[in-house]
Amino acid sequence: MTSQKKHETTLKTSVITQEIDLFSTLSDSWWEEDGHFAPLHQMNPCRLEFIRNEVLQHLNKNTGDTSGLPYTGLDFLDIGCGGGLVCEPIARLGGKVTGIDASEKAIEIARAHANQNSLTIAYNHTTAETLAQQDKRFDVITALEIVEHVADLNDFMASISALLRPGGLAFVSTLNRNTKSFIKAIIAAEYVLRWLPRGTHDWQRFIKPHELVKSLHHNGLTTLNMNGMLYNPLTGGFSLSEHNLDVNYILCCQKVCA
């Protein structure tokens, strides 16, 4: 066995096969706004607002742009891109976008949808760990609603740090681990409202904000801002909150310059 193949064999992975298998079976419904991924469709405007605000503030790119393409000149990576719900809006705002996912079925759906909408997005069936070994670097990385599905948080964050250029930004959104999140994200979402198939989430894998910040810091990433994302049952949408991180939350961090 060559040294290269031996390295590939021993490369750590954050992928949990059972998790990927589950999401692969749901992939046909990625773009159905009232389907299995309805919560992500409802959450998307809120997530995209937070990302745009932080990118414009901290990367100082085209802050006075009036063309509607504020992400021009920035390389984005969306890890766990699924069907492309985040990739496509970013591409429409001028970003050069790469989307990766461990589910081959999700990548097929994402490519087909981007082609239908005449969008140029580089979709790849791979993992963050594998991509990090290829000396790829990005200005902005998004890892949204994925860290609660990885095998090892610190290993996953190490890959994000390796993929991020010095001074670049990473965005992570996930679920807090407490009684309220168990009631809302597990009992309500999976058993009462049936937004998601039972077993989609494991409450034990939810991550408290201080745990996520600690992992980021350990991997050379400094937290810049953190907001909760609050669901409004009357409007069916989410809004940002500076103070309420009880269930869903999103943060922006920056790689410490060398």
Q: What is the model's pTM?
A: 0.85
DSSP string, 158-186: HHHHHHEEEEEEEEEEEE--SHHHIIIII
Chain Cα centroid distance, residue 65: 26
Chain Cα centroid distance, residue 152: 16
Domains and CATH numbers, the chain: 13-60+69-255 (3.40.50.150)
Please write the tens of the pLDDT for every residue from 166-224: 999 999 999 998 867 656 655 555 544 455 655 555 656 789 999 999 999 999 999 99
Please write the tens of the pLDDT for every residue from 122-146: 999 999 999 999 989 999 999 999 9
Q: Residue 14: pLDDT above 60? A: yes
Q: Residue 60: pLDDT above 80? A: no
Please write the tens of the pLDDT for every residue from 90-116: 999 999 999 999 999 999 999 999 999
Mean pLDDT of 33-47: 90
Q: How far is Cα 205 from Cα 147, in angstroms, rounded to an integer?
A: 8
Q: How far is Cα 33 from Cα 42, in angstroms, rounded to an integer?
A: 8
- Both tokens of 225, joined, read 């801002």
